[in-house]
Amino acid sequence: MGKDSWVSKGPISDYARLLAISAFVGLFVGLAIVALSTLYSALWGLTLVTTRAYSYSIILIPAVGFTLAYLIIRKVAVTKTTGCGTHELLEVYHYEGGVLPEKDTIVKPLASTITIGLGGSAGLEGPSLLLGGGIASAIGRRLNLRPEQQKISLLCGAAAGLSAIFKAPLTGILFALEIPYQRDLAKEAFVSATLASLLAYFTAINLVGSETLFPLIPTLIIPSPLMILHAFAVGLAAVACGAVFVNSFTALDKLKSRFKVQALAYPLVGGLVIGVIGFCAPQVLGVGYDTISEMVTGKFYGASLIFLVALVLLKLFVTSVTLNSGGSGGLFIPSIYVGAVLGAIYAKAVIQSPSEIIVMAAMAAVLAATNKTLLTSVVFVAETTGPSLIIPTLIAAATSYFASGSLSFYRDVQPLGKPIEEEEAVRVLLHQISRQRGFKKLVSTKVSEVMTPHAVALVDTMSIGEAMGIIKDHSYRVYPIVSQAGTLVGYTTVEDLLMIPEEKRHLTVSHMPMRTPLGITKEDDLLRVASRMLERNVDHAYVVSDLQEMKLVGVLADIDILRKLVERLKKQ
C-alpha cells in the first residue's frame, strides 16, 4: 500500500490523519521544550553565579552570548537571519508554505537560548515557537502533508511550544490562531492546535511540575465602575507605550542598516551596551519573570516613579538592541514586562496604592497592542495569575487592541486578514523578490507601465439602473465612480449594486454607499503601490492625473501587479 493510499478514502480519513500527527507533535514538542527550558535554566544559573562572584563580569557576558549565538546562526543555519522567532515563524507560514529548514529547528532555538541565558533581553517563547513549529514541519514533510496541511501543522507545533514553555495550554491554542493575521483567525488550525497544545502541556507538567509563571491571585475580584474606567485608561496608555516600543524596535533596525561595519561588530557592541546597562539595572536582563512577579505583588510600589519610568524605557531599549544586534528570542514576554511596569506606574501615579488589577490589565493591554493578539493576551493573564481579574483585563486589552490600529511588531509579515488568492500571490512574490535583492529593479517600474488606461467608470449622476446596464456589458467586478467632470469620487462592486432593491434603482449612483478609493499617479513606483494595496487590503488602485484634481485616467488591479512580479521573478 502506498504512503498516500489511505488519503483517498475521503476527508474523514485525511482529517483523522492530521489529528494523529497533531497528537504526536504535541508529545514530541513537550519533551523538546523541557530540554530547552533545562538548558536555559543551566545557562541563566551560570550567569547568576558568575555575576555574584565577579559583579563586573555582567558587562562582558551578554557580548559573549550574542557573539556565540550570531556565529552559530551564520555558520550553521540555512537562513542566516537573527532576531525575533515569532517574526520568522510568520514568515515561514505566509511565504515558505509552512516549511522550516530542519537545521534551523535546532540551531535557532539554541542560539536564542544562549542569547537569553547569558543576559540578553528577550522571551523564551521565540525559541519555543521555532522549536515546536520546526518539529511539526519536519514531521509533516516526512509524511507528505499537502501544503495547506503543512501550514496547519506548523501552527500546531507553535501552539504546543508556547503551551509547554508557559504551562498555559489555552494561551498556546489562541496564539496559534490569532498571530497569523491582525484582524482574522487561522480557524482551520483550531482542533489540531488544541490537541497538540494540550498534549504538550500535559507532557511538560508531568516532567517539571505545574507551577505557574507568576503568583496566582486566588480571590475573585468584582471590578467597580471606577476600576473599569481605570482599565479603559490603562488600555489607552498601553497604546502609547506600545507605539514607543514598536517604533523604537523598528527605528533601531533601520539605523543598523545604514552603517556598513564588520558583521561581528554588531553582537559585540550590542552585548557590551546591554552589559553596561545591566550592571546599573540588572532587572532589565534576561526574561524578567522575577521583576514581573514583583510588579504583580506590589513589591516595587515603594520605588520612585522616575525609577519605574526608567525601567520601562531601558527594557524596551535593551530588548530592541538584543534582537537587532545578533541576538535571538521573542517579543511576547518583553511586552508583558513593559506592561507590568506600566501598570505599576499607573497604580502609583493615579490610584496611589498597589493594584494587581491594574498591573495585570496593563500586561494584557501592551501585549494586545504590540502583537495584535487580543484573546491570547487576556487568556495568558488568566492562566498565569488566575481568572479573577478577567473583566478589567479584557476591557484594557480590547481598548488597546482596537485603538492601536495596525501597530504591530510583525506588520510586514502579519496581514490584516486572510487574503484572496491574487493578494496572497502578490504578497509571496514581493517577499521572494526582496530576498533575491530584486527590489531596486522593481522600484524603477512605474505604474504607467502596468496600468490599464481608459477604465470603465460609472458616473455619479446616472441612475443605479443605468449602472446595472453597464455592468452587464462588462466582466469586471469593481467599478470606479466619477463625477460628470471625470473626478474620482469612489468605487463600488457588482455585489454592492446587486444588493440594491429593484424599487430603488431609479435613484442615482451618488445615493448608494461608496467605497473609499486608493488614488495613485502614473509616476508612482509599482513596489510602493503594491505595498499600499496590501496594507489597505484592496485589490484595485485608481490612477489619477494628480492627487489634488483626482481626474481618473486608469486603473491598476492586483492581477496586473501579479503578472509584472512573475515577469520580474523570472529575470532574477
Is the same domain home to 438 and 535?
A: yes
- Cα-only R_g, the chain: 26
Number of domains comprising the chain: 3
pLDDT at 8: 42
The band of 433, judged by pLDDT with boundaries at 50, 70 and 90, is: low
What CATH number is given to the structural domain containing 108? 1.10.3080.10
129-169 pLDDT, tens digit each: 999 999 999 999 998 888 888 999 999 999 999 999 999 99
The average pLDDT across 497-518 equals 84
Q: Which among 2-6, 437-441, 557-561 has the top mean pLDDT?
A: 557-561
pLDDT at 572: 54
The model's pTM is 0.79
In a domain, 242, yes or no: yes
In a domain, 215, yes or no: no
241-263 pLDDT, tens digit each: 999 999 999 999 888 877 777 88
Per the CB < 8 A criterion, the answer to whether 517 and 542 are in contact is yes
Whether pLDDT at 443 is above 60: no
**Distances, alpha carbon 444 to alpha carbons 448, 526, 527, 557, in Å:** 11, 8, 9, 19
444-465 pLDDT, tens digit each: 678 888 888 888 899 999 998 8
Domain final residue, candidates 352, 385, 411? 411
Is the same domain home to 235 and 359?
A: yes
The band of 118, judged by pLDDT with boundaries at 50, 70 and 90, is: very high
pLDDT at 420: 58
In a domain, 218, yes or no: no
Indicate the angle between helix axes 421-435 and 558-570, nearest 10 degrees.
Answer: 30
Is the same domain home to 389 and 538?
A: no
Domain final residue, candidates 381, 411, 441? 411
Is the same domain home to 429 and 558?
A: yes
Q: How many CB atoms lie within 10 A of CB 373?
A: 26
Is the same domain home to 107 and 21?
A: yes
**Grid cell of 146 as nine digits:** 499537502
Domain final residue, candidates 159, 182, 208? 208
Whole-angstrom distance, CA of residue 495 vs CA of residue 488: 20
Is the same domain home to 337 and 251?
A: yes
Is the same domain home to 376 and 426?
A: no
Q: Grid cell 482574522 — which residue?
A: 184
Across the chain, what does the average pLDDT equal? Answer: 88
51-106 pLDDT, tens digit each: 999 999 999 999 999 999 999 999 999 989 899 999 999 989 987 888 999 999 99
Whether pLDDT at 384 is above 50: yes
Is the same domain home to 30 and 84?
A: yes
What CATH number is given to the structural domain containing 509? 3.10.580.10
Domain containing 334: what range? 225-411
End-to-end alpha carbon distance in the chain? 42
